[in-house]
Structure 1
């Protein structure tokens, strides 16, 4: 059973108190608990069933402008005392950095709406197996499907608390359910494989197993007996699985760290046009049930929707506290990177 919020809060609070007594001017603690259950299935049989239940703690201590971090998966009182002592000792010998600090207190989250990130539903292994069995059976309805690379179902439940010496202490539970099915198709000497997956915060929002299997089969079959097309200049539409990766280099380039270090290929492009005027790019951590949604970032800064590109112009960066200070800009809650990053819909479909 996942650890409750009060249990995690007490650990975090005790660690902050101990760090302050040992000389820390500030302290930040993240305590998390994660339970993961996975069933792997192949050719009508269970291939593997595994479960992990882990707890972890991350401690950051500050002595004025000196900072050190330490982490562990052992939360016994004796080990925590040792961790904090070691972290303080490391902080004392760490060089000062004028940009080291906790976030501004007025930027920290205070209250929030329910983003529907946690589903209490617990899926038994029998139900996981039945789901995967139905998916594979659906895929094999087409005679061109000759084998499977396997199917998998995973359920993850998380709980965490982030606390700091400014009096901030918040946390929440989250869940993720995911399933995948990989299929092999064969026809006229051609053999191809492809997969389909589904991943949601709530179990009831997953694709039906029949849809998962049918789509995996359809993808594999479409790849059979491929033909070359002639070289030409034509408009293209990126398939959804590929399209989402197009924004990865852009996200890396607009991180505050890349700008502060001068390593971004967009380093001189803030408030300048970098795309067509038809392009708008949004990062929104407040979408209900979305996989990237969060109430606050990894420093406790409250989440907010940010327009990164407006009508082709680069309007905002992904800012955390440290690199934001270097750039003389305030954090916009992007410590840890993007959340739900997307192109705004265009005018055609």
Structure 2
């Protein structure tokens, strides 16, 4: 694994490819050299069912000439002749491409200084050098499954998995930026099944982290999966009507994800967002803030610089209820007459805007306070389907959870649909204080009053 931890070879490849592109006639160019190694295991009833290992190397080049752009990618090679031919081909493709007035490298003035990159990498601590063995991954999965099976009422295992990812990437641009960093991810999950016959219900729990030492205890995660599954057995139906709805954190983060999609620069530039005319206006209640922070230490979405070499700093996307920012890379910023805010991401040659560690800041009430304040409502623990229209904001999703009666959780419910419009829902959000950083998008429990719930 030492060759993956050493980025010097990929650094040479990326720089050589950029130099070859300029020599071939490109006005400007950037290149990404990446390598990733991943492993995953799965088991059921203590018996291994899956054991996969993959390695991937890639090179991607993007060139610009006379306002035209082209990109090309390949498996990694260090042969100078092959790199030169790739660059020549990319330049030839660009000469035949239509002009794109917005495609460009990030401006020199926006690029992160190379000597700061190393300090930023150390500050965010984005990778764990300890690589788990297959046996260690299987042990995590086994302990999680055992934890689930020990819960009274769990009748069988739905399986358990564990996985690890380690990747390294180098970005080099003809404007002089060179940056490299490693990222790691480790996770495991367990699924439990409760009940018998036609009354079986399932649920899951998981833990994910950048560093192995930050994972939750597998037995605890398994028990949580079992408790969630047994709590869903014998669900009741409910009448269609208007109810107060509380989303637990695991599903509340999807609402913040819908916001991220709606304020993505690509959606704004294409006029496909229900929020396209709301910049600078209040869309959430006073006191609500939503941040995007790529510098979060050991954050699952953290990175030292963006996919174009821009210094990606924390952003207050929503502050005191007001929408302050779109999520932008250089191209979408140019199209909108704005300046990039360092949110370019790339999985190949071409960048696109996306968030990093997106967080709805917690409120002052506990989850129990929110529940106590609901006379007749629903506590949502699971969402089904993808019934969200990004153009209109219309929202309709299948759901399951628990009925709230007179301020207390009551019977489990299923086969319901919750509906509304995201503009109206955002305007009525009341967050609890139970925020945990478990994913790249995080939110506490959220209360939204007066939603339509379709039942029987």
Q: Shorter-chain TM-score category?
A: over 0.9
1:87 paired to 2:87: no
Q: Partners of 1:256 and 1:20 in 2: how far apart? A: 29
Query: Which of the residues 307, 320, 323 maps onto 1:298?
Result: 307
Task: Give runs of aligned pairs for residues 239-318 of structure 1, distance below 5 A.
Answer: 239-318=248-327
C-alpha contact (below 8 Å) 2:151/2:227 kept by paired residues? no
Q: 1:105 aligns with which of 83, 104, 108?
A: 108
The alpha carbon displacement at 1:99 in A equals 2.0
- Distance (whole Å) between structure 2 residues aligned to residue 316 and residue 277 of structure 1: 17
Superposed CA RMSD: 1.6
- Report the alpha carbon displacement of residue 95 of structure 1 after superposing the two structures with TM: 1.6
**1:342 is the counterpart of 2:344:** no
Tell me the SS of whatever aligns to 2:246. Answer: coil
CA distance in 2: counterparts of 1:74 and 1:31, whole angstroms: 8
CA distance in structure 1 between the partners assigned to 2:221 and 2:105 by the alignment: 45
- Tell me, in whole angstroms, the C-alpha distance in 1 between the residues paired with 2:242 and 2:163: 42
TM-score by length of 1: 0.95
TM-score (ref. length: structure 2): 0.74
Residue of structure 2 aligned with 1:13, choices 12, 15, 21? 15
Displacement after TM superposition at 1:262 (Å): 2.1
Is the CA contact 1:185–1:220 (under 8 Å) kept in the aligned structure 2? yes
3-state SS of 1:8 partner: helix
Distance in 1, Cα, partners of 2:72 & 2:200: 50
Q: Is the 8 A contact 1:38 1:51 kept in 2?
A: yes
Cα deviations across residues 63-114 of structure 1 (Å, max 9, x unaligned)? 1311111112242525433322221110011122222221111211221432
User: Within 2, Cα distance between the matches of 1:232 and 1:137?
Assistant: 41
| Counterpart Cα distance in 1 of 2:364 and 2:218 | 33
Task: Report the CA distance between 1:187 and its aligned residue.
Answer: 5.2
- Structure 1 residues 165-205: Cα deviation after superposition (integer angstroms, max 9, x where no partner): 01100010110001011111115962111111111000111
Tell me, in whole angstroms, the C-alpha distance in 1 between the residues paired with 2:271 and 2:152.
56
1:69 aligned partner? 71
> How far apart, in 1, do the equivalents of 2:107 and 2:198 lie?
64
Q: Which moved more, 1:130-139 or 1:147-156?
A: 130-139
Matched, 1:42 2:11: no
* CA distance in 2: counterparts of 1:258 and 1:122, whole angstroms: 39
Aligned length: 349
Q: Distance in 1 between matches of 2:32 and 2:197?
A: 56
Q: Which stretches in structure 2 are left out of the alignment for 5+ residues?
A: 346-353, 367-456
Q: Distance in 2 between matches of 1:231 and 1:97?
A: 51
Residues 16 and 165 in structure 1, CA contact (< 8 A), matched pair in contact too: yes
Contact 1:144–1:187 (CA under 8 A) maintained in structure 2: no
Which deviations, in whole Å up to 9, do the C-alpha atoms of 1:12-46 show, x marking residues without a partner?
A: 11101111111011110011110001111111111
| DSSP 3-state at the match of 1:237 | strand
Report the 3-state secondary structure (helix = DSSP H, G, I; strand = E; otherwise coil) of the residue aligned with 1:9: helix
Q: 1:190 to 1:90 in 2, by over 3 A?
A: same
- Greater strand percent: which structure? 2
- Correspondence 1:332 to 2:335: no
